[in-house]
Amino acid sequence: CAILFFTFQIRIRWILRRNRVLIKYFDYNVQRHPNKTAINFNGECFTFQNVSDLAQKISNWIETSLQLGHDDEWERLNHRKQNGDDDFPMNREAKIHRKFENNKRCTQIGLMFGNIPELASFIIGIARVRCSAVLFNTHTRHELLLNAFRATDCKVFIFEPKFLSIIQEIAPQLPDIRFFMYDRNESKNIIVDPYYNGLSRQDLEEKYDDPKAKQFAAILNAYPITPVKKNYPYTMADMIQFMFTSGTTGGNIKCVPVDNIRYIGGNLSHELVFGFHHSDHFYVCLPCYHAFAGVIGLSTIFITGNTITLAEKFSASKFWNDCRTNQCTIALYIGEICRYLLAQPEHPDDGKHSLRMMFGLGLNKEHWIRLRKRFNIPKIAEYYASSEGNILIANHQNVPGSCGFIPYYYGPLLYTLWPCHIIKVDPITLELVRDPKTGLCKMARNGDLGMMVGEIRKGQIFTEYLGYTSAEESTKKLIRNVRQHGDFVFVSGDLMEMDF
């Protein structure tokens, strides 16, 4: 555990010093193996070069047609607006809150896509011009979808044709931006209008049937795959994506930013802890609008150059056949998926597959044991994290039912250095328990019910709490004076129990 912790710290500092942003990782993988399969999808094969070529066209479209992008000139003009006056003294609390205010000060491009391979190209193409992709939940409707628009500041919104009626239903309340319909099945070799500027809110409201609306895929295809013209000064703080929290059940939807350091650090931590290999083939059947598939899953393509098999949606009856057909070695899961797999009738081929690991979260002890035994799975790699938080723990010892490990008993050094803790809570009121003498929170011990929190540490970028696009909602997740006076922690809201 100590070796993994310090290895991660060393490698993440190396990445920071060299400014190894997501785009650089992806370009390296394209250069290294352009003809390697990046994505298998419904019998189609998309190589790294295929993904890169479409991404370049998208970047050129954004730069040329939309005239968006945060190049060096934009950086020069907007630096003081974003970062404030460096000479103005600010305390630590003010600096944390300023980060929340800055979350929406990037150019956001909304995407409402199902699980399609082109999504990877859109994410890279948008990031290349230092804009951010906002991945909308394809199951949100009516007021929830409007709340999602209000939580973001999208300049452009791109969607698949199957979501057109959903957008038209709320057209009168939509922001006054441009809308583009991307049909991956439309012919890309037709004559198009290169000056097509998308649909307006009024077009959607009037349900105007513009034949040009169906040509957007062909328009993109007409753009060159040459490098972008401007210089883009990438930084580790650039926002790659925005995701909506999976726990939202109503009211105001919260939108979470994901920057380069979160993208790369998450991938690196899982690679170190669970032993992912560059040769691993991942099976992704979870929706990419959630962070697990949309960040962790896709990062295996972008950063480590893996191949993934992407399913349109989860199917319990097709799961194992997909894994066998595509020779997958690691499958992503959430606990609910495992329950459906176990509910399927037993079959003689249940244990015949190439998986060496199932990787995910939310699997209880009973289903864990049954899943390993019935399907002959060598290892289950369970972890815990929150989309918006600074917490990441992992069950690297394959202990059934455990979501992660905190190295308290390895001595005071790791206890001090480790940023994740479980704070004792009152079992009835669920309020944090504080020491009446010091006013500090009490740490949970063996058998105690506690709240998972993550320390926000000055100078440690991976412990930063980015919050939401709403500064008000971000502040609700912060508390002070937990382990020492003056400290700040992110409160996950998730209750856990220590079992050692």
CA distance 55 to 223: 10
471-497: b (≥16 Cβ within 10 Å) or e: bebbeebbbeebeeeebbbbbbebebe
End-to-end CA distance of the chain: 16
CA distance 159 to 179: 8
Q: Cβ(219)–Cβ(188) under 8 Å?
A: no
Mean pLDDT by runs of 10 across the 500 residues of the chain is 78 91 97 98 96 97 87 63 48 58 76 98 97 96 92 95 94 94 82 84 83 86 92 92 69 85 92 93 97 95 98 96 97 96 94 95 95 95 89 89 78 71 88 93 87 87 84 88 91 85
Nearest to 115, CA basis, from 321, 322, 259: 322
The domain that contains 66 carries what CATH number? 3.40.50.12780
What is residue 193's predicted lDDT score, i.e. its pLDDT? 81
Helix (H, G, I), strand (E, B) or coil at 253: coil
Q: Which helix (H) or strand (E) holds 310?
A: strand 307-310
128-142: b (≥16 Cβ within 10 Å) or e: bbbbbbbbbbbebee
Nearest to 444, CA basis, from 500, 488, 385, 498: 498
Q: Cβ(464)–Cβ(390) under 8 Å?
A: yes
CA distance 334 to 268: 20
CA distance 108 to 110: 6
Torsion angle defined by CA atoms of residues 478, 479, 481 and 483, in that order, rounded to the nearest 10 degrees: -80
Which residue, 208, 240, 272, sits at the end of a domain?
A: 240
What is residue 88's predicted lDDT score, i.e. its pLDDT? 45
Residue 480 lies in a domain: yes
Tokens of 94: 């003010």
Maximum Cα–Cα distance for the chain, whole Å?
76
Residue 216 lies in a domain: yes
The domain that contains 466 carries what CATH number? 2.30.38.10
**CA angle at 484 for the pair 478 and 486, rounded to the nearest 5°:** 55
Residue 327 lies in a domain: no
Which residue, 219, 240, 261, sits at the end of a domain?
A: 240
**CA angle at 496 for the pair 490 and 500, rounded to the nearest 5°:** 120
Which structural domain, as residue segments, surrounds residue 460? 407-499
pTM for the whole structure = 0.92
Residue 489 lies in a domain: yes
β-strand 392-395 against 420-424: which pairing, if any?
unpaired
Q: Cβ(211)–Cβ(199) under 8 Å?
A: no
Which residue, 196, 212, 240, sits at the end of a domain?
A: 240
Residue 412 lies in a domain: yes
Residue 460 lies in a domain: yes
Residue 411 lies in a domain: yes
Nearest to 173, CA basis, from 199, 147, 146, 196: 146
Q: How far is CA 371 from CA 96, 233, 366, 376, in A?
A: 43, 47, 9, 8
What is residue 249's predicted lDDT score, i.e. its pLDDT? 42
DSSP 329-362: SEEEEEHHHHHHHHHSPP-TTTT-S--SEEEEE-
Strand boundaries in 362-487, DSSP class E: 380-385, 392-395, 420-424, 449-456, 478-480
Q: Is 247 exposed, middle or buried (0-12, 13-18, 19+ CB in 10 A)?
A: exposed
Q: Which helix (H) or strand (E) holds 132?
A: strand 132-135
What is residue 466's predicted lDDT score, i.e. its pLDDT? 87
The number of folded domains in the chain is 2
Residue 348 lies in a domain: no
What is residue 463's predicted lDDT score, i.e. its pLDDT? 84
**CA angle at 205 for the pair 204 and 211, rounded to the nearest 5°:** 35
Contacts 24+ apart (CB under 8 A), 161-170: 161/214, 162/114, 163/112, 163/138, 166/141, 167/112, 167/204, 168/204, 168/205, 168/207, 169/141, 169/142, 170/142, 170/145, 170/146
